[in-house]
Chains A and B, each alone.
Chain A
Amino acid sequence: DAGVIQSPRHEVTEMGQEVTLRCKPISGHDYLFWYRQTMMRGLELLIYFNNNVPIDDSGMPEDRFSAKMPNASFSTLKIQPSEPRDSAVYFCASSSGMNTEAFFGQGTRLTVV
């Protein structure tokens, strides 16, 4: 398996624009997680899915953020409109169970100017 695949690797956008981050989890993994990492706040859980269903989105910072998982092999995290404080590295991870190890994608470095 190629591991968790994220795209794009880097994204630079202007404030107010819509940003869509994409993730393909490891085949057979039932859980998918979106995390955001900044120097100040570390690695924060934004939302996670089980069998394509959102289970906990309490970490999503604002209504500007939304996430979907239309099928077992694809998820998106959308920010609309984007703001400079959204600049961070966004990681997608997947796992085979709730209390098992999670495997991370390479991340998307988002810069909002």
Chain B
Amino acid sequence: QKEVEQNSGPLSVPEGAIASLNCTYSDRGSQSFFWYRQYSGKSPELIMSIYSNGDKEDGRFTAQLNKASQYVSLLIRDSQPSDSATYLCAVPPAGTALIFGKGTTLSVSS
């Protein structure tokens, strides 16, 4: 069974710090990787996608992918209270739809 694993948290960081979120996946055939943010009572919202090994930066967000280790991470620099949410890692196993991890809850304190 294809799986996507995340630490459930909560992950607590002070305002201005770096938050590091991690995800592992089981299907070596996966070719694309996504991070979604979900505020309480809202729907998941795409914030980052990554397709190649290495880092991809977008503003305060950096996604890191290591296919050999089947590991993808999300770094949030200069964390803000508005970043407090649940972050979902999503990976499509080869030939099928997005499978989501259970999410990591991030709390940023001011």
In the assembled complex, the CB of B61 is this many whole angstroms from the nearest CB of chain A, namely 15
Q: B44 is contacted by which of A31, A45, A56, A104 (Cβ under 8 Å)?
A: A104
Interface readout for A11-46 with B: 1 if CB under 8 Å, 0 if not?
A: 000000000000000000001010100000111010
Other than A99-B92, A103-B46, give 13 A-B pairs with Cβ distance below 8 A.
Answer: A42-B100, A42-B102, A43-B102, A45-B98, A56-B96, A91-B43, A98-B96, A99-B31, A101-B34, A101-B46, A101-B49, A104-B44, A107-B43
Tell yes or no: A71 within 8 A of B by CB. no
Interface residues on A, range: 20 to 34
**Is A98 within 8 A of B43, CB to CB?**
no
Q: Is the CB of A98 within 8 A of B92?
A: yes
B68 an interface residue at 8 Å Cβ cutoff?
no
B-contacting residues of A (Cβ < 8 Å)? 31, 33, 35, 41-43, 45, 48, 56, 91, 93, 98-107
Cα distance A56–B32 when bound, in Å?
19
Closest A residue to B97 by beta carbon equals A48
Bound CA–CA A56/B92 (angstroms) = 13
Which B residues are closer than 8 A to A by beta carbons? 31-32, 34, 42-46, 49, 88, 90, 92, 95-103
Given A42-B103, A98-B92, A99-B32, CB of A104 within 8 Å of CB of B98: no
CA A77 to CA B92, docked complex, whole Å: 22
A106 touches B43 (CB 8 A): yes
- What A residues does B88 contact at CB under 8 A? 43
CA distance A82 to B8 in the complex (A): 30
Q: Are A98 and B97 closer than 8 Å at their CB atoms?
A: yes
Determine the residue in chain B with the shortest Cβ distance to A33: B97
27 pairs, A vs B, C-beta closer than 8 Å:
A31-B97, A33-B97, A41-B102, A42-B100, A42-B102, A43-B44, A45-B97, A45-B100, A91-B43, A93-B98, A98-B92, A98-B95, A98-B96, A98-B97, A99-B31, A99-B32, A99-B92, A101-B46, A101-B49, A102-B46, A102-B90, A102-B97, A102-B98, A103-B46, A104-B43, A105-B43, A107-B43
